[in-house]
Amino acid sequence: MRSLKTGVAIALSLSLFALNAAATVKHSIGIARNADETVRYIEHHQYLQDGRHEVRYYDADNQLLLFKEIRYPELPQHPIISQADFLRAMTTTVEQDKNTAIITRSSADDAESFSFELNDDIIIDAGFDAYVRANFQELQRQRTTAFNFAVPGQTRLLSMKMTYLGREENLIRFSIEPKNWVVRLLVSGIDLYYDGDAKLVRYQGFSNLKPPAGESREVQIDFRHFESEQSLDSPLAEWLPGTTRG
């Protein structure tokens, strides 16, 4: 009996050790560059063990520009979001009440809200990447997928389409563009490159951060993926370009 209890205790200890070893925090670091390859900003995505997804945006001098907390209570494309934009002194929230989503943007001088009914074809802001990862194989089989995009700052849903363009340099490429051809003349498309594990490797197109006056909003963001044993307040120095950290 003692040997049985000892064996159970050892098995439990090994199981707990394995769980703790596996319970790492995943990170994605995106370096956004201008056309001349200078660093515009840095994204630090952190996927916590309780299901929260935190994003911090830094400028090239490592000053925090924006913080976003994202939760995925049900469908990955329907996240709940809380965002603080320190550059523009503005907060943005995405909340849900049964089958309705409410996007609210607030500043010291103004506030605006936009609500809409949820369905499977609506993708909300930061839920896009989670939607792609959850439907990765199906999006490749379908070739073209239509959806409505909800973006803070817009008081209507944007009618968009996503097209699978095949493989390029061993990466899986998708394009995103407005469905309306007239709008396509005014708004450039977005190219996304994923690896075989459905991790975003490169983003080319319109930045979601407003640039300084006179600068283009087009960026290329290259992503690398890391793990740590615990959550971090900021990305590790070795994950960043040498020019951004001392």
What's the confidence (pLDDT) of residue 23? 66
* Phi, psi of 5, rounded to the nearest 5 degrees: -65, -40
Distance CA 28, CA 26 (A): 7
Query: Is 41's pLDDT higher than 50?
Result: yes
Query: Is 102's pLDDT higher than 60?
Result: yes
Greater confidence (211 vs 193) lies with 193
**Of 28-37, 158-167, 210-219, where does mean pLDDT reach its minimum?**
210-219
Beta strand 122-124 pairing with 144-150: parallel
Under DSSP, is residue 72 helix (H, G, I), strand (E, B) or coil?
Answer: coil
Tokens 């500043």 sit on residue: 107
What's the confidence (pLDDT) of residue 189? 87
State the pLDDT confidence band at 7, using cuts at 50, 70 and 90.
Answer: very low
Mean pLDDT of 85-90: 92
